[in-house]
Protein backbone atom coordinates (compact mmCIF):
# COMPACT_ATOMS: atom_id res chain seq x y z
CA UNK A 1 0.00 0.00 0.00
CA UNK A 2 2.90 2.36 0.72
CA UNK A 3 3.98 2.19 -2.92
CA UNK A 4 0.61 3.14 -4.38
CA UNK A 5 0.73 6.50 -6.18
CA UNK A 6 4.36 7.17 -5.23
CA UNK A 7 6.16 9.03 -8.00
CA UNK A 8 9.50 7.37 -8.74
CA UNK A 9 12.28 8.57 -11.06
CA UNK A 10 14.60 5.76 -12.23
CA UNK A 11 17.78 6.35 -14.22
CA UNK A 12 19.00 3.39 -16.24
CA UNK A 13 15.45 2.12 -16.04
CA UNK A 14 15.16 0.61 -19.50
CA UNK A 15 17.10 -2.57 -18.70
CA UNK A 16 18.63 -4.70 -15.99
CA UNK A 17 18.17 -3.74 -12.35
CA UNK A 18 16.47 -0.45 -13.18
CA UNK A 19 13.89 -2.09 -15.42
CA UNK A 20 13.15 -4.85 -12.91
CA UNK A 21 12.56 -2.23 -10.24
CA UNK A 22 10.37 -0.15 -12.54
CA UNK A 23 8.25 -3.20 -13.35
CA UNK A 24 7.92 -4.15 -9.69
CA UNK A 25 6.97 -0.68 -8.52
CA UNK A 26 4.50 -0.22 -11.36
CA UNK A 27 2.83 -3.54 -10.56
CA UNK A 28 2.35 -2.29 -7.00
CA UNK A 29 0.67 0.96 -7.97
CA UNK A 30 3.57 3.39 -8.19
CA UNK A 31 3.97 5.96 -10.93
CA UNK A 32 7.33 5.69 -12.63
CA UNK A 33 9.46 7.90 -14.83
CA UNK A 34 11.99 5.74 -16.67
CA UNK A 35 15.04 7.75 -17.71
CA UNK A 36 17.64 6.06 -19.89
CA UNK A 37 20.11 6.87 -22.63
CA UNK A 38 18.67 3.87 -24.51
CA UNK A 39 15.02 3.29 -25.35
CA UNK A 40 13.27 0.18 -23.96
CA UNK A 41 13.65 -2.68 -26.39
CA UNK A 42 16.78 -1.35 -28.11
CA UNK A 43 18.72 -4.23 -29.62
CA UNK A 44 21.71 -3.59 -27.41
CA UNK A 45 19.55 -4.09 -24.33
CA UNK A 46 17.94 -7.41 -25.18
CA UNK A 47 19.99 -10.56 -24.54
CA UNK A 48 19.62 -13.34 -27.08
CA UNK A 49 18.08 -15.92 -24.78
CA UNK A 50 14.73 -16.70 -23.17
CA UNK A 51 15.25 -14.36 -20.22
CA UNK A 52 13.00 -11.29 -20.63
CA UNK A 53 15.64 -8.91 -19.28
CA UNK A 54 15.80 -5.84 -21.48
CA UNK A 55 12.43 -6.24 -23.14
CA UNK A 56 9.82 -3.50 -23.07
CA UNK A 57 7.75 -3.12 -19.95
CA UNK A 58 5.33 -5.75 -18.75
CA UNK A 59 1.88 -5.93 -20.37
CA UNK A 60 0.13 -4.71 -17.22
CA UNK A 61 1.95 -1.38 -17.41
CA UNK A 62 -0.08 1.34 -19.08
CA UNK A 63 0.86 4.76 -20.35
CA UNK A 64 -1.14 6.30 -17.52
CA UNK A 65 1.37 5.32 -14.84
CA UNK A 66 4.68 5.15 -16.72
CA UNK A 67 6.64 7.77 -18.65
CA UNK A 68 9.83 7.18 -20.60
CA UNK A 69 12.46 9.83 -21.29
CA UNK A 70 15.52 9.20 -23.41
CA UNK A 71 18.23 11.32 -21.86
CA UNK A 72 21.70 11.62 -20.37
CA UNK A 73 22.27 11.80 -16.61
CA UNK A 74 25.02 14.34 -17.30
CA UNK A 75 22.54 16.73 -18.90
CA UNK A 76 20.88 19.13 -16.49
CA UNK A 77 18.26 19.95 -19.10
CA UNK A 78 17.41 16.28 -19.74
CA UNK A 79 17.01 15.45 -16.05
CA UNK A 80 15.10 18.63 -15.23
CA UNK A 81 12.72 18.09 -18.14
CA UNK A 82 11.88 14.56 -17.00
CA UNK A 83 11.43 15.54 -13.36
CA UNK A 84 9.31 18.55 -14.26
CA UNK A 85 7.09 16.36 -16.42
CA UNK A 86 6.56 14.03 -13.47
CA UNK A 87 5.66 16.98 -11.25
CA UNK A 88 3.30 18.34 -13.88
CA UNK A 89 1.56 15.02 -14.39
CA UNK A 90 1.51 13.60 -10.87
CA UNK A 91 2.12 16.55 -8.58
CA UNK A 92 5.62 15.89 -7.29
CA UNK A 93 8.52 13.47 -6.89
CA UNK A 94 8.86 11.01 -4.00
CA UNK A 95 11.70 8.65 -4.92
CA UNK A 96 14.79 8.80 -7.13
CA UNK A 97 16.67 5.60 -7.96
CA UNK A 98 20.04 5.93 -9.67
CA UNK A 99 20.78 2.80 -11.71
CA UNK A 100 22.47 4.43 -14.70
CA UNK A 101 26.14 3.57 -15.00
CA UNK A 102 28.89 2.19 -17.17
CA UNK A 103 31.59 -0.33 -16.40
CA UNK A 104 35.07 -0.99 -17.66
CA UNK A 105 37.41 -3.91 -17.07
CA UNK A 106 40.91 -2.97 -18.09
CA UNK A 107 44.36 -2.49 -16.59
CA UNK A 108 45.54 1.06 -16.00
CA UNK A 109 48.81 0.06 -17.61
CA UNK A 110 49.47 -3.13 -19.52
CA UNK A 111 53.22 -3.87 -19.70
CA UNK A 112 52.62 -6.62 -22.25
CA UNK A 113 51.81 -4.07 -24.94
CA UNK A 114 53.17 -0.94 -23.21
CA UNK A 115 49.68 0.57 -23.30
CA UNK A 116 48.25 2.87 -20.60
CA UNK A 117 44.49 3.07 -20.35
CA UNK A 118 43.03 5.91 -22.42
CA UNK A 119 42.21 8.86 -20.17
CA UNK A 120 38.91 9.30 -22.00
CA UNK A 121 37.78 5.86 -20.81
CA UNK A 122 38.57 6.79 -17.22
CA UNK A 123 36.68 10.07 -17.51
CA UNK A 124 33.68 8.35 -19.09
CA UNK A 125 33.20 6.02 -16.13
CA UNK A 126 33.77 8.67 -13.47
CA UNK A 127 31.57 11.22 -15.22
CA UNK A 128 28.64 8.87 -15.80
CA UNK A 129 28.76 6.99 -12.51
CA UNK A 130 29.77 9.78 -10.13
CA UNK A 131 29.03 13.17 -11.69
CA UNK A 132 25.84 11.80 -13.25
CA UNK A 133 24.69 10.63 -9.83
CA UNK A 134 25.43 14.02 -8.30
CA UNK A 135 23.47 15.71 -11.07
CA UNK A 136 20.37 13.59 -10.50
CA UNK A 137 20.63 13.81 -6.71
CA UNK A 138 20.78 17.61 -6.60
CA UNK A 139 17.85 18.04 -9.00
CA UNK A 140 15.76 15.32 -7.35
CA UNK A 141 16.40 16.86 -3.93
CA UNK A 142 15.21 20.22 -5.20
CA UNK A 143 11.96 18.68 -6.41
CA UNK A 144 11.45 16.66 -3.21
CA UNK A 145 11.99 19.71 -1.00
CA UNK A 146 8.78 21.13 -2.47
CA UNK A 147 6.75 18.26 -0.99
CA UNK A 148 4.80 18.96 2.18
CA UNK A 149 4.51 15.61 3.91
CA UNK A 150 2.74 15.75 7.25
CA UNK A 151 5.08 13.07 8.62
CA UNK A 152 8.18 15.10 7.78
CA UNK A 153 9.67 12.87 5.09
CA UNK A 154 9.64 14.46 1.66
CA UNK A 155 11.56 11.93 -0.38
CA UNK A 156 14.05 9.08 -0.71
CA UNK A 157 17.12 8.93 -2.95
CA UNK A 158 18.64 5.50 -3.60
CA UNK A 159 21.97 5.08 -5.37
CA UNK A 160 23.47 1.95 -6.89
CA UNK A 161 27.11 1.14 -6.23
CA UNK A 162 28.80 -2.27 -6.45
CA UNK A 163 30.77 -4.73 -4.35
CA UNK A 164 33.69 -3.54 -6.47
CA UNK A 165 33.75 -0.57 -4.10
CA UNK A 166 35.13 -2.91 -1.43
CA UNK A 167 37.27 -5.46 -3.26
CA UNK A 168 37.55 -4.93 -6.97
CA UNK A 169 39.92 -6.94 -9.10
CA UNK A 170 43.10 -5.55 -10.67
CA UNK A 171 41.19 -4.75 -13.84
CA UNK A 172 38.44 -2.83 -12.02
CA UNK A 173 40.43 0.13 -10.69
CA UNK A 174 38.34 2.79 -12.41
CA UNK A 175 34.98 1.11 -11.80
CA UNK A 176 35.95 0.45 -8.17
CA UNK A 177 36.89 4.10 -7.70
CA UNK A 178 33.53 5.22 -9.07
CA UNK A 179 31.67 2.67 -6.94
CA UNK A 180 33.63 3.71 -3.87
CA UNK A 181 32.77 7.34 -4.48
CA UNK A 182 29.06 6.50 -4.43
CA UNK A 183 29.48 4.66 -1.13
CA UNK A 184 31.49 7.54 0.35
CA UNK A 185 28.98 10.21 -0.66
CA UNK A 186 26.00 8.43 0.89
CA UNK A 187 26.27 9.53 4.52
CA UNK A 188 27.39 13.13 3.79
CA UNK A 189 24.50 13.61 1.36
CA UNK A 190 22.07 12.12 3.88
CA UNK A 191 23.30 14.67 6.41
CA UNK A 192 23.16 17.42 3.81
CA UNK A 193 19.56 16.70 2.84
CA UNK A 194 18.25 15.90 6.32
CA UNK A 195 16.91 19.43 6.73
CA UNK A 196 14.85 18.87 3.56
CA UNK A 197 13.31 15.68 4.91
CA UNK A 198 15.06 13.55 2.29
CA UNK A 199 16.66 10.19 3.10
CA UNK A 200 19.61 8.81 1.12
CA UNK A 201 20.80 5.21 0.87
CA UNK A 202 22.95 3.11 -1.43
CA UNK A 203 22.69 -0.50 -2.55
CA UNK A 204 25.92 -2.30 -3.47
CA UNK A 205 24.90 -5.39 -5.46
CA UNK A 206 27.08 -8.32 -6.36
CA UNK A 207 26.61 -10.11 -9.67
CA UNK A 208 23.03 -10.09 -10.95
CA UNK A 209 21.37 -11.37 -14.09
CA UNK A 210 21.51 -8.40 -16.45
CA UNK A 211 22.09 -7.99 -20.18
CA UNK A 212 25.78 -7.42 -19.41
CA UNK A 213 26.37 -10.53 -17.30
CA UNK A 214 24.20 -12.77 -19.49
CA UNK A 215 25.45 -11.76 -22.91
CA UNK A 216 26.69 -14.39 -25.32
CA UNK A 217 30.24 -13.18 -24.69
CA UNK A 218 30.32 -14.63 -21.17
CA UNK A 219 30.79 -18.39 -20.95
CA UNK A 220 29.27 -20.72 -18.38
CA UNK A 221 32.77 -21.27 -16.98
CA UNK A 222 33.17 -17.56 -16.33
CA UNK A 223 29.73 -17.37 -14.72
CA UNK A 224 30.67 -20.24 -12.42
CA UNK A 225 33.93 -18.53 -11.49
CA UNK A 226 32.11 -15.29 -10.71
CA UNK A 227 29.63 -16.89 -8.30
CA UNK A 228 32.10 -19.22 -6.54
CA UNK A 229 32.96 -16.66 -3.79
CA UNK A 230 29.29 -16.42 -2.79
CA UNK A 231 28.59 -17.79 0.69
CA UNK A 232 24.99 -18.67 -0.22
CA UNK A 233 23.15 -18.83 -2.55
CA UNK A 234 25.75 -19.77 -5.12
CA UNK A 235 24.15 -18.07 -8.11
CA UNK A 236 23.60 -14.75 -9.81
CA UNK A 237 21.09 -12.49 -8.12
CA UNK A 238 17.70 -12.05 -9.73
CA UNK A 239 16.87 -8.41 -10.59
CA UNK A 240 13.57 -8.74 -8.70
CA UNK A 241 15.61 -9.30 -5.52
CA UNK A 242 17.21 -5.92 -6.09
CA UNK A 243 13.75 -4.44 -6.62
CA UNK A 244 12.56 -5.91 -3.33
CA UNK A 245 15.42 -4.23 -1.46
CA UNK A 246 14.64 -0.91 -3.13
CA UNK A 247 11.09 -1.30 -1.84
CA UNK A 248 12.38 -2.00 1.67
CA UNK A 249 14.50 1.15 1.61
CA UNK A 250 11.50 3.17 0.46
CA UNK A 251 9.23 1.78 3.18
CA UNK A 252 11.61 1.66 6.16
CA UNK A 253 12.08 5.20 7.47
CA UNK A 254 15.12 4.26 9.58
CA UNK A 255 17.28 3.38 6.58
CA UNK A 256 19.32 6.50 5.96
CA UNK A 257 22.96 7.31 5.25
CA UNK A 258 23.74 3.62 4.78
CA UNK A 259 25.11 1.36 2.07
CA UNK A 260 23.57 -2.11 1.96
CA UNK A 261 25.48 -4.95 0.32
CA UNK A 262 23.32 -7.30 -1.72
CA UNK A 263 25.83 -9.97 -2.69
CA UNK A 264 25.03 -13.36 -1.09
CA UNK A 265 27.99 -12.91 1.26
CA UNK A 266 30.43 -12.72 -1.62
CA UNK A 267 34.02 -11.85 -0.75
CA UNK A 268 36.66 -11.84 -3.46
CA UNK A 269 40.31 -12.42 -2.68
CA UNK A 270 42.01 -11.41 -5.90
- pLDDT tens per residue, range 173-195: 999 999 999 999 999 999 999 99
pLDDT for the residue 41: 61
pLDDT for the residue 46: 35
Average pLDDT, the chain: 86
SS3 of 23, please?
Answer: helix
- Active-site positions read 175
Residue 78: its H or E element: helix 76-90
* pLDDT score of 49 more than 90: no
Domains and CATH numbers, the chain: 7-262 (3.40.50.720)
Q: What is the pLDDT of residues 21-45, one digit of tens each?
A: 999 999 999 999 999 999 876 533 3
pLDDT for the residue 237: 85
pLDDT for the residue 186: 99
Q: What is the pLDDT of residues 224-266, one digit of tens each?
A: 656 667 667 777 788 999 999 999 999 999 999 999 999 878 7
**Euclidean distance between the first and the last CA atom of the chain, given in angstroms as a whole number:** 44
Q: What is the pLDDT of residues 147-178, one digit of tens each?
A: 987 678 999 999 999 988 888 878 889 999 99
Question: Cα dist. 206→36, 128, 163, 165, 263 in Å?
Answer: 22, 20, 6, 10, 4
27/55: higher pLDDT: 27
Q: What does pTM read for this prediction?
A: 0.87
Amino acid sequence: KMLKNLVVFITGGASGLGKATADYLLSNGARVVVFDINAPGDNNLSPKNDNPIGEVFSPHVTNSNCLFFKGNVLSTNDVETAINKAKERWGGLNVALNCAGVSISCRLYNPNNDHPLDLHEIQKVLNTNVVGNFNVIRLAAQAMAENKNEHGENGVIINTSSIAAYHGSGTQTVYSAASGAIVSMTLPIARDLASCGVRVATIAPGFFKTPLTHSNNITDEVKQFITTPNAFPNRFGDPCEFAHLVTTVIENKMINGETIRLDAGSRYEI
